Amino acid sequence: MLKKLCTLLLLLSMALLTGCGKEERPKLIMVTNAEFPPYEYIHHSEIDGIDPAIIRRIAEKLGYDLEIHNMNFDSVIAAVQTGKGDIAASGITVTEDRKKKVNFTLPYVISEQVIIVSKTSAITGKDDLKKLRIGVQHGTTGDTYVAANIREPERYANGALAVAALKAGKLDAVVIDREPGEVYVTRHSDLKLMNEPLTSEEYAFAINKRNQLLLKQVNEQLKAMKESGELSRIIQHYRATANAEAIKNQAVHNGFFSKFKESFQLNFIKNKRYMYLLEGFGITLYISFFAVIFGVIIGFMVAVIRATNIMTGKLKILDRLCRVYLTVIRGTPVVVQLLIIYFVIFGSVDIDKVLVAVIAFSINSGAYVAEIIRGGIMSIDRGQMEAGRSLGLSYNQTMWEVILPQALKNVLPALGNEFIVLLKETSIAGYIALQDLTKAGDIIRSQTYDAFMPLMAVALIYLAVVMLLSWMLNRLERRLKKNE
Ligand code: ARG
């Protein structure tokens, strides 16, 4: 039985590991934050917009296989700096601070920061904003400008969320780049742009300082595209598309709060948005499933080592190591662990993000499982061990055949609880740009500006899985009771 289980686990982990890798042409990884129309946005589950179109063209000409990774804007430059991505294309403004971290290509667009307010607002310019609530996208030049020149802003994960907050009356103004600002104002007829711009900026692509070759290649291509007019054709095309989209969406918007059905249509059916939830759910389940398995394996080993040390005084060094592991893992937040594993430990390795999440959550869960199981072992009467030994069983035999089965049965409820916690905890996977269930809801939210439907849907899916899990655990518990 145990052997079979081990073989199965081995096969599963091999399947997991082979998922990443294999390629023919050299790969070019572009990183972006696809919440910035018309520069980058998600359309039919694909990342599209001015930046992806330009980079796609350049990659094609240079013979690269392009892969686009979507993440929070405040991670985009760091991703290039640490080698997670080769090129950042995300409507990035060239600034002196950023130049210290990455190299910039030739600029391809001129832009500026502008202010969006409600149409009925009395605000006439930036001087009126000193005492008001201003929203920005976290980590953008708008953020820096407002913080340095007006007041501390409220920072949102993307522009669409800031605009939603403005519409809901939670903000007085949003500071954002000109073109996304125009898209939002077109989409929402109750908003307007202030004329006076706050800054003047240039966008360029960012490349790792060590990759001089790529910088040279991209600059050559950019130059050629500028001269041939291709660059401005791409930009014009997406500006027009984004505008048309915005006008189309406007019609749907005006009435949708009133009607549940319409809202359901918009959030889940239109553009096949339910696919985000389905795919996200798959990733959430995948991560949770493997993390539970590896977490239990880790936890089991640690628990046995620690219990053995307590009962027999052996395995001193291993016990020390296990204690350090437990202290560190239980003493730091799982988000921080996830980020450390992704950006620091695997900082310069091209590794599948799902695998990173599985590793992070397994290590984290293992610590809790270890203490649960150790508690179970310690709760078994000492006499059991003595009885086993006096019957002629070895220590290991008694442990495996007498103590552990009883211990496991006792801790089943606590273990079940840990699995439930783990499933929900994977909702932070979005921090490393994985599109899990929670992130799927965020994506829909950023496209439809509706908070209610996507959040409810996500919550209901988690709830359903947890209920199913509890039910199964209950049944298992009852079964084991009967076998007693
Ligand atoms: N241009 C601004 C900056 O560089 C905002 C860019 C935001 N881009 C995005 N894809 N969200 O800070």
Distance (angstroms) between ligand 1 centre and the Cα of 186 equals: 19
Q: Is the dihedral of CA 298, 299, 302, 303 positive or negative?
A: negative
Look at phi and psi of residue 116 and say left if phi exceeds 0, alpha if psi is from -120 to 50, else beta.
beta
Residue 63 pLDDT greater than 90, yes or no = yes
Q: Domain of residue 299: give its range.
A: 274-483
Residue 18 pLDDT greater than 80, yes or no = no
- State residue 433's pLDDT score: 85
- State residue 175's pLDDT score: 97
| Long-range CB contacts for residues 258-264, cutoff 8 Å, separation at least 24 | 263/450, 263/452, 263/453, 264/453
Distance of alpha carbon 213 from alpha carbon 26, whole angstroms: 14
Together in a domain, 397 and 408: yes
Write the pLDDT tens digit of every residue in 252-280.
545 445 567 777 888 898 888 999 999 99
DSSP 163-175: HHHHHTTS-SEEE
Residue in the structure block whose two tokens are 């016990």: 319
Distance (angstroms) between ligand 1 centre and the Cα of 409 equals: 54
Together in a domain, 464 and 319: yes
Longest dimension (CA), the chain: 89
Distance of alpha carbon 103 from alpha carbon 105, whole angstroms: 7
Rounded average pLDDT over 288-315: 94
Q: Provide the pLDDT confidence category of residue 450 given band limits of 50, 70 and 90.
A: confident
Residue 33 pLDDT greater than 90, yes or no = yes
Together in a domain, 75 and 119: no
Return the ligand 1 atom nearest residue 95 CA. 4
Return the ligand 1 atom nearest residue 139 CA. 12
CA angle 161, 166, 168 (to 5 degrees): 95
Which residue owns the Cα nearest ligand 1 atom 5? 140
- State residue 48's pLDDT score: 93
Look up residue 302 and give its two tokens. 């640690």
Together in a domain, 282 and 376: yes
Together in a domain, 125 and 81: no
Instruction: Outline where DSSP puts E strands in 275-430.
Output: none
Together in a domain, 184 and 333: no
Residue 3 pLDDT greater than 60, yes or no = no
| Cβ contact 281:353 at 8 Å | no
Residue to mutate (ligand 1; options 138, 177, 200, 201; most atoms within 8 A of CB): 177
Rounded average pLDDT over 101-125: 95
For residue 27, report the phi and psi dihedrals to the nearest 5 degrees. Answer: -100, 140
In a domain, 158, yes or no: yes
- State residue 189's pLDDT score: 87
Together in a domain, 442 and 333: yes
Look up residue 33 and give its two tokens. 């934050």
In a domain, 37, yes or no: yes
Residue 251 pLDDT greater than 70, yes or no = no
Q: Does residue 337 have its Cβ closer than 6 Å to ligand 1?
A: no
In a domain, 268, yes or no: no
Distance (angstroms) between ligand 1 centre and the Cα of 172 equals: 21
Least confident of 40-49, 100-109, 137-146: 40-49
Least confident of 17-31, 131-145, 447-461: 17-31
DSSP 386-446: HHHHHTT--HHHHIIIIIHHHHHHHHHHHHHHHHHHHHHHGGGGGGGT---HHHHHHHHHH
Distance (angstroms) between ligand 1 centre and the Cα of 61 equals: 26
Residue 243 pLDDT greater than 70, yes or no = yes
Number of domains in the chain: 3
In a domain, 239, yes or no: yes
In a domain, 211, yes or no: yes
- State residue 22's pLDDT score: 47
Which residue owns the Cα nearest ligand 1 atom 12? 140
Q: Is the dihedral of CA 96, 102, 107, 113 positive or negative?
A: negative
Q: If you average pLDDT over every residue of the chain, what do you get?
A: 90
Least confident of 86-95, 103-112, 407-416: 407-416
In a domain, 5, yes or no: no
Give the CATH number, domain containing residue 445. Answer: 1.10.3720.10
In a domain, 85, yes or no: yes
Look up residue 127 and give its amino acid: D
Look up residue 139 and give its two tokens. 């980590």
CA 437 to chain centre: 10
pLDDT cut 90: percent of the chain above it: 68
Of 186-195, 361-370, 389-398, 465-474, give the range with the top mean pLDDT.
Answer: 361-370
Bridge partners for 136 per DSSP: 155
Together in a domain, 350 and 394: yes
Distance (angstroms) between ligand 1 centre and the Cα of 235 equals: 16
Rounded average pLDDT over 176-193: 93
- State residue 460's pLDDT score: 97
In a domain, 329, yes or no: yes
| Cβ contact 235:50 at 8 Å | yes
Together in a domain, 90 and 120: no
Q: Provide the pLDDT confidence category of residue 14 given band limits of 50, 70 and 90.
A: low
Instruction: Outline where DSSP puts E strands in 133-207.
Output: 134-137, 154-156, 173-177, 191-193, 201-203, 206-207
Distance (angstroms) between ligand 1 centre and the Cα of 65 equals: 25
Q: Does residue 73 have its Cβ closer than 6 Å to ligand 1?
A: yes
Write the pLDDT tens digit of every residue in 383-423.
888 899 899 999 889 988 899 889 988 899 899 999 999 99
Residue in the structure block whose two tokens are 């990443």: 20
Together in a domain, 119 and 184: yes
Q: Does residue 208 have its Cβ closer than 6 Å to ligand 1?
A: no
Look up residue 192 and give its amino acid: K
Look up residue 437 and give its amino acid: L
Look up residue 421 and give its amino acid: V
Q: Does residue 103 have its Cβ closer than 6 Å to ligand 1?
A: no
Distance (angstroms) between ligand 1 centre and the Cα of 352 equals: 26
Distance (angstroms) between ligand 1 centre and the Cα of 246 equals: 20
Together in a domain, 428 and 466: yes
Residue to mutate (ligand 1; options 30, 32, 35, 36; most atoms within 8 A of CB): 36
Q: Does residue 48 have its Cβ closer than 6 Å to ligand 1?
A: no
Rounded average pLDDT over 289-301: 96
Distance of alpha carbon 195 from alpha carbon 185, whole angstroms: 13
* CA dist list (Å): 436 to 193, 283, 360, 423, 430: 35, 5, 15, 11, 7
Q: Provide the pLDDT confidence category of residue 45 given band limits of 50, 70 and 90.
A: confident
- State residue 4's pLDDT score: 55
Return the ligand 1 atom nearest residue 51 CA. 10
Together in a domain, 98 and 226: yes
Q: Does residue 172 have its Cβ closer than 6 Å to ligand 1?
A: no
Give the CATH number, domain containing residue 49. Answer: 3.40.190.10
- State residue 328's pLDDT score: 97
In total, the chain counts a number of residues equal to 484
pLDDT cut 70: percent of the chain above it: 93
